[in-house]
Amino acid sequence: MSLPIRVLIIDDHPLFRQGIRWTLEDAPDISVIGEAENGQEALKLSERLNPDVVLVDINLPGLNGLEVARVIKRRDPRMGIIVLSVYEDDDQLFQAIKVGAAAYSSKDVNPEDLLFFIREVAKGKYLINESVLAKPNVATRVLHQFRELAASDDEQTSTLFAPLTSREIEILDCIARGLSNKEIAHELSISGQTVKNHITSILSKLQVNDRTMAVIFAIKRGWIRMGYQSGEEPVGMQ
């Protein structure tokens, strides 16, 4: 029997948190492991509890939900983020994409859909892609920013823009140069497990099955290029 999906709820309204908890407690494959009412508390709990899926209200007081999502994804790319908002907004959807959220929904989502979102996100799915396809204006904006990314000098944009973070692009470049996980870990001064986590995230985001396909995908889009000289930064990196 598989372990239940571990969920962290982040919202500043106690009644809303309780409503979500009641909904999730009826699902045998889902376990609510914690609740937070503000961004700072959320970051501490996410690091301590290591949830599989984080439900986060976009309009938190102080550190807002998008900032919380961005920090959590930087710490552990495996955590799935579902951003919830009082109302669906194209700009909020775009910002949710930028911080690496896996799904975006209004807070009046029905229980069945919420359970579906959680289960799919826990599998590494990016349901937010479907939201983008349903909104041509957002899709155009996403494509436009991707085109600008490679030539951009805006470090904040390049490091935050989803689907790939700058570290993930860096790891893809190492893979393209034929480095093993151990060699990547040594070159980037990170652990072997962190390399594996990033690769899992890359494959999931690009919806490919292996490292080779991920590299081909990235090269076609100009995120990395083959044969650059030592010390020269790959395309898309700042």
- Provide the Cα torsion 85, 43, 169, 81; round to 10°: -30
| Domains identified in the chain and CATH numbers | 5-137 (3.40.50.2300), 164-220 (1.10.10.10)
- Predicted confidence (pLDDT) per residue in 95-136, tens digit: 888 788 889 998 999 999 999 999 999 998 888 766 655 666
CA 44 to chain CA centroid, Å, is 18
Tell me the pTM.
0.63
pLDDT tens, residue by residue, 73-82: 888 888 999 9
With 0-12 / 13-18 / 19 or more C-beta atoms within 10 angstroms meaning exposed / middle / buried, residue 110 is exposed
